[in-house]
Amino acid sequence: MNVLILGSGGREHALAWKISQSPRLERLFIAPGNAGTAQAGTNVNIPVTDFLAIGNFVIDKEIQMVVVGPEVPLVEGIHDYFLSNPSLNHIPVIGPVRKAAMLEGSKDFAKEFLVRHNIPTAKYQTFTKENIGFAEQFLGILNPPYVLKADGLAAGKGVVICQSLGEARQELREMLLEDKFGRAGGKVVIEEFLDGIELSAFTLTDGKHYMILPSAKDYKRIGEGDTGPNTGGMGSVSPVPFADTTFMKKVEEKIIRPTHKGLIEEGIEYKGFIFFGLINVQGEPFVIEYNARMGDPEAESVIPRIKNDLLDLFTAVANQSLANEKLEVDERYAATVMLVASGYPGHYEKNKIISGFEKVEDSFVFHAGTGFNSSNNQTVTNGGRVIAVTSLDNSMKSAFEKSYVNAEKISFENKEYRKDLGKDLFKYIP
Ligand code: AMP
Ligand code: GLY
């Protein structure tokens, strides 16, 4: 089978690494990919939103499956583009159609869906600039902190948590009146603050059945002790120590099952990954957000634990025969440490030579923001999040220790990483 993966981060390298092990695979392409995906297949210089060029490439190279990593092409309708084109509509796309991807593409759509299907989530209301007065009144009846969310995609930056009413009012005005998040902030969801500990659950679904994948937790803040600004993710761990059987049973009954049932009831055929951003509030799960894809860096922890051939699972998604597949999971912990460029998530420099890969022992190295400099034949940094180091071991502590030992061996100028990953979770381990 010839496969095309869309995307260029650590998640896509993890997907490419896993798919490249499949006996079903003939040729693997990644568009646009990074220096890591180039080791698992062939990179193609096509942007993930250039549907015309992607379609032409798929026909030209006789691609038989397209796996979509990031959200933007999904929300822009890549799956619909394939379905509407007679020369592409027989090619499976792993990733939902636009309507379903709106679970990630519009916070308001997601909240309405959650409420319609009686799925636990924070109480909310949605406002536009036309009714900003009501938004201010609504803030007045909530208790701090205040959670304001730009409706549309904002590259993970669209959620602002304000400690004071004054700050929340100012933020609201910036979003609705001053276009702080552009079109994404044309609508703003204001919701109740939930106090708890976050985790992510994932399913793979063929539109009829779903398979629950291993849970994971990511570390969003740049600073140790979960301080400082949000990032794309500084590390992750799978499984999540506090997500025990009792809790995960609640997650399935109250959240996962009604979500899939709701999609079917609404006639939305979802084929791909669903990412449930959850918060555990005193033992009860609530949905913070949906994403229409795997998480990053959660994928770098979850995918190495999946023993199945990923192309078997994706073929079953395409054929709607996922009910016949059984997930096999490596019981060990996977711990991922993200190496980032100093300054990230603010301004940082690129094009720094990365070395030391050959010294890494007993860990996986997934490239995120890397590129290849052909003038000096070197792998160089090409983004804020640069390399994900993942290790498997019987305890969470030893899995992180292995990742930290190998994180030290990889060098680039101004490398930084969080050294406290996993520490917040030790108390949940008996
Ligand atoms: P989102 O982009 O919706 O995942 O939100 C980003 C982050 O904001 C989440 O990971 C949470 O840490 C936080 N957050 C979002 N909604 C809430 C809420 N209702 N209560 C508390 N924290 C929230
Ligand atoms: N790690 C969070 C995300 O992928 O959105």
Percent of the chain with pLDDT over 70: 99
Nearest CA to ligand 1 atom 7: 159
- Tell me how long the chain is: 430
189: Cβ below 6 Å to ligand 1? no
pLDDT at 138: 82
What is the band of 389 on the pLDDT scale with cuts at 50, 70, 90?
very high
212 within 8 A of 239, measured Cβ to Cβ: no
What the block records as the tokens of 177 is: 């009146």
Give ligand 2 pocket residues (Cβ under 6 A). 156, 218, 233, 291, 295-296, 298
142: Cβ below 6 Å to ligand 1? no
Q: What is the pLDDT of residues 88-112, one digit of tens each?
A: 999 999 999 999 999 999 999 999 9
Q: What is the pLDDT of residues 59-81, one digit of tens each?
A: 999 999 999 999 999 999 999 99
pLDDT at 156: 67
Q: What is the pLDDT of residues 224-263, one digit of tens each?
A: 999 998 888 999 999 999 999 999 999 999 999 999 999 9
Please determine, for residue 185, whether its predicted confidence score (pLDDT) is greater than 70. no
Cα(254)–Cα(265) distance, integer angstroms = 16
pLDDT at 64: 98
Q: Which of 227, 289, 290 most suits a substitution to test ligand 1, by most atoms within 8 Å of the C-beta?
A: 289
pLDDT at 125: 83
Q: Which range is least confidently modeled, 12-16, 153-157, 392-396? A: 153-157
Cα(117)–Cα(254) distance, integer angstroms = 10
Ligand 1 atom nearest 193 alpha carbon = 20
Nearest CA to ligand 2 atom 3: 295
Cα(221)–Cα(344) distance, integer angstroms = 11
The closest ligand to the CA of 297 turns out to be 2
Cα 104 to ligand 2 centre (Å): 11
- Mean of per-residue pLDDT scores for the chain: 94
pTM of the model: 0.95
Nearest CA to ligand 1 atom 19: 193
Q: Which of 238, 275, 287 most suits a substitution to test ligand 2, by most atoms within 8 Å of the C-beta?
A: 275
Please determine, for residue 283, whether its predicted confidence score (pLDDT) is greater than 90. yes
Q: What is the pLDDT of residues 11-64, one digit of tens each?
A: 999 999 999 999 999 999 999 999 999 999 999 999 999 999 999 999 999 999
Q: Where are the alpha helices (DSSP H) in 236-382?
A: 245-251, 257-265, 298-302, 310-319
Nearest CA to ligand 1 atom 9: 288
Please determine, for residue 304, whether its predicted confidence score (pLDDT) is greater than 70. yes
What is the band of 319 on the pLDDT scale with cuts at 50, 70, 90?
very high
pLDDT at 184: 66
Please determine, for residue 418, whether its predicted confidence score (pLDDT) is greater than 80. yes
pLDDT at 21: 98
> 201 versus 162: which is more confidently predicted?
201
The closest ligand to the CA of 385 turns out to be 2
Q: In the Cβ-directed half-sphere of 174, how many Cα atoms lie within 13 Å?
A: 13
Please determine, for residue 143, whether its predicted confidence score (pLDDT) is greater than 90. no
* Full DSSP string of 324-350: G----B--SEEEEEEEEETTTTSS---
What is the band of 220 on the pLDDT scale with cuts at 50, 70, 90?
very high
What is the average pLDDT across 401-422?
97
Nearest CA to ligand 1 atom 15: 288
Closest CA to 421 of 122, 217, 184, 170: 217
